[in-house]
Amino acid sequence: MKWKPDTLRRSFDEAVWQSHPAALPAGRARLVRFARFVLVLARDLAGGQLTLRAMSLVYTTLLSIVPLLALSFSVLKAFGVYNQIQPMLLTFLEPLGEKGAEITHRIIQFIENMNVGVLGSAGLAMLLYTAVSLVQKIEESFNFIWHVDRPRGIGERFSRYLSALFVGPILMFSAIGITAGVTSIAFVRDLLTLGPIEWLAVQIGRYTPYALVIAAFTFVYMFLPNTRVRFVPALIGGLVGGILWQSAGWGFAQFAASSTRYAAIYSGLAILVLFMLWLYLSWLILLFGAAVAFYVQHPEYLLAEAGEPRLSNRMRERLALVAMSLVARHHVEGRAPWTAQALAQTLHMPMRAVDAMLGALQAGGILARTSDDPPAYLPVRDLRQVTVKQLLDAVRVAGEDRILTPAMLPGSDPVEDVLSRVDAAADGALRDLTVQDLAGPPAKQVESPARSAPRAIGA
C-alpha cells in the first residue's frame, strides 16, 4: 500500500489529536500525551511569540542591567560582600570568553561610577523604576505563557519586586559566603582529602552549577506568574530550562571562540552583538522552561490549535450544566466543594473557559466564591430554588455590558417574535427542572481534592 503525504498527515492527526488519552491503553496514552507535549512546544517556538518576547526582554535588559546591578551593589556594599558581583557576572558571561570579561569590567565600571547620593529623589525614583521594569516585563511574559489576563496591582508589584531585588542578592551571596567559610575550615579541608569523600566532592562541584540554575529557574517560575504554580511543574520546567541553559552556555562558548568574522564585520560592536545574542538565548530558554511548566500543570491546553480555545454557545451551556451538576452533587452529598482548577482538570477543559463560566454563574447570583486559597465555589441559594432556565440565562448574558447589548441591534417584529418563541419554549420545557435535578445519582469517576469546608464570601 502506498502512503501519500496527505494520508500520513491525516493518520497522524487522528492518532495524536483526535484520540482521547483516557480511552487508550496506558502505554499508548503516555505516548500520545508526550507527542502532544513535544508538538505544542515546537509550535509555540515556531509561532514566534516566545521569540518576540525574548527580544523584548533583551532590549529591557540593556536599559536596566546597570540600575539593577547598582541596587544590588548598594545593598551588598552595606553587608561587605559587594565584591561578589563581578564573579557572578563573569560566570554568567563565561560563554563569551574573553569578551565576557571585558563586558563585565565595563559594567562594573558603570556601577562604580554611579553615585546614588547625587541623583536626587527624582533620579532615585527613576533608578528604582528602571530596575523594577525588567521584573515587570518578565512577569508580563510569564502571564502570557500562563494565560493570565490580570496583572498584579501596582503596590503589590513594587513590594514583591523590590523585596526580591533587595533580599534576593543578600540570601544568594550569604549562601556563597557560608559555603566558602565552611570549606576554609581546616577539619573540612582534611576531610575532603579522603578518597571517597574527595571523589564525592568533585562530583558535587561538577553538578552544583546545574543544581543552582535549576533551583533559580524553579523559584522564578513559582514566584513571578500571577497565578498559583505548583512545585512539581515548576521543578520540571526548571530542570528543562536549567539543563538547556547550561548546555547552551557550552555551545555558545564554542561559537564565540570561532566568531572572528563578527569582529571583522562589526568591528568594535562585535562585543555588543555577542552579548545581545547570549541575552536573547538566555531569555528564550527561560521562557521555554516556563512553557514546559505551564503544559505540565495544564495538560488540557495540549490542543491541535494554538491560542486560547473559543467555545461555541452550545459548549458554554453544556460546560455550565456539567460543572453545576458536579457542584450540586458535592453540595448535596456534603463533600468538599470544587475549585476552578479541579473542575478544569476533571472536565479536561481550558482553565480560562472554566473561570469565565464560573464568573458568569457568580455574577448571576447562582454561585459564591469562598475565601480560601485557591477559592472554591458553593451554591448561593437552595438548589431547589434555582431553575435550569436561570442557569442557562446567566451563561447567555455573560459578557454583555453597556456598550454591546442586544438593544443596539436593529430589530423587527419577525425577529422579536422568533426570540420570544424561543424563550417561551425553553421556559416551558425547563420550568419544572431545578439545579437540584442536575445533581442526579452519585458518579464514581469525578472526585475533587479533599478540602475542609470553607467559608463563602459574597453570598
Report the pLDDT value the prediction gives residue 236, as an integer from 0 to 100: 94
Amino acid in the structure at residue 185 = I
Report the pLDDT value the prediction gives residue 233, as an integer from 0 to 100: 93
The residue behind cell 538547556 is: 244
Report the pLDDT value the prediction gives residue 448, as an integer from 0 to 100: 46
Smallest Cα–Cα separation from 384: which of 441, 459, 424, 332?
332
Tell me the chain's radius of gyration from C-alpha atoms.
Answer: 28
Residues with Cβ within 8 Å of residue 149, at least 6 apart in sequence: 143, 352
Report the pLDDT value the prediction gives residue 450, as an integer from 0 to 100: 43
The residue behind cell 527580544 is: 55
Report the pLDDT value the prediction gives residue 289, as an integer from 0 to 100: 93
Mean pLDDT, 10 residues at a time, over the chain (459 residues)? 63 72 76 86 85 88 74 62 64 70 73 59 68 80 85 70 61 49 48 58 64 84 86 93 85 71 61 82 92 89 72 87 91 88 84 86 89 85 87 83 69 81 84 82 48 39
Contact criterion met (CB below 8 Å) for 296 and 237: yes
Domain with CATH 1.10.10.10 in the chain: 313-399+413-439
Spell out the CATH class of 313-399+413-439.
mainly alpha
| Sign of the C-alpha dihedral computed for residues 231, 237, 240 and 246 taken in this order | negative
Report the pLDDT value the prediction gives residue 240, as an integer from 0 to 100: 93
